[in-house]
Homo-oligomer: A and B are copies of this chain.
Amino acid sequence: MSVHLLQTATSVLLKDPTASLGDVAKAAGVGRTTLHKRFPTRADLVRAVANDALDLIDSVACQVDFDRDDAIEDLITRLVALGPRVEFLLRFPGLERDAELRTRIEAMDRPVLDLITRLQGTRLRRDLPAWWILHTLYAGLFNAWEAINYGRLAPLDAPRFVLTTVFEGVASAGAAQRT
């Protein structure tokens, strides 16, 4: 049941990053000793959760054809479905201090950044840097996950919300452009 354990740890630590290992074990319905046996130290657990999330993203990313122009839509839609497991990765404090994790995260970003850069020739605006657009995408995902978590947003609505907002913005279509 290692999978379920990691999922539980994800949600517990995401809700309260200072939660004790005892809390995590209890939430997972597992003895604290067992938890220690599988993850000798707290850092090990956190790293495992993060790597699990990265594996999840990899398994999704390899299904996306980054050569297609609508790859972003595809990717976003799939990422929204992953929910809190990925949110952990981008939100848990201090994760970037682990060199190995930082490398994996950068490796995860690269194909998306390349895609964005390529699309800036056609579908995406050129007056914003690629990294800014990437972070805007992530921010949209954050909002969706959080809203779903609070029960404000139906999971099936989420992809449309994110895509619409990120691509077209919140200004009404007919409104005069801002200066």
Cβ of A163 to closest chain B Cβ, rounded Å = 6
Interchain CB contact (< 8 A) of A143 among B16, B94, B139, B172: B139
Cβ of A158 to closest chain B Cβ, rounded Å = 10
Q: A143-B132, A175-B123, A178-B167 are in contact. Are A18 and B73 (CB under 8 A)?
A: no
Complex: A166 Cα to B171 Cα, angstroms: 8
Q: Is A133 located at the chain interface by the 8 A CB criterion?
A: yes
Q: Closest residue to A176 on the B side, CB-wise?
A: B123
Question: C-beta contact mask, A79-114 vs B, less than 8 Å → 1, else 0?
Answer: 000000000000001100000000000000000000
Question: C-beta contact mask, A115-145 vs B, less than 8 Å → 1, else 0?
Answer: 0000010111111110111011001101100
Cβ of A137 to closest chain B Cβ, rounded Å = 8
A171 B167 Cβ-Cβ under 8 A? yes
Q: Is A173 located at the chain interface by the 8 A CB criterion?
A: yes
Q: Is A147 located at the chain interface by the 8 A CB criterion?
A: yes
Complex: A139 Cα to B143 Cα, angstroms: 8
Q: Which residues of A contact B (CB under 8 A)?
A: 16-18, 73, 93-94, 120, 122-129, 131-133, 135-136, 139-140, 142-143, 146-147, 152-153, 161, 163-173, 175, 177-178
Could you pull out 13 A-B pairs where Cβ atoms are within 8 angstroms? A17-B18, A124-B172, A128-B161, A128-B170, A132-B143, A135-B146, A136-B165, A139-B142, A139-B143, A164-B178, A166-B170, A167-B171, A168-B178
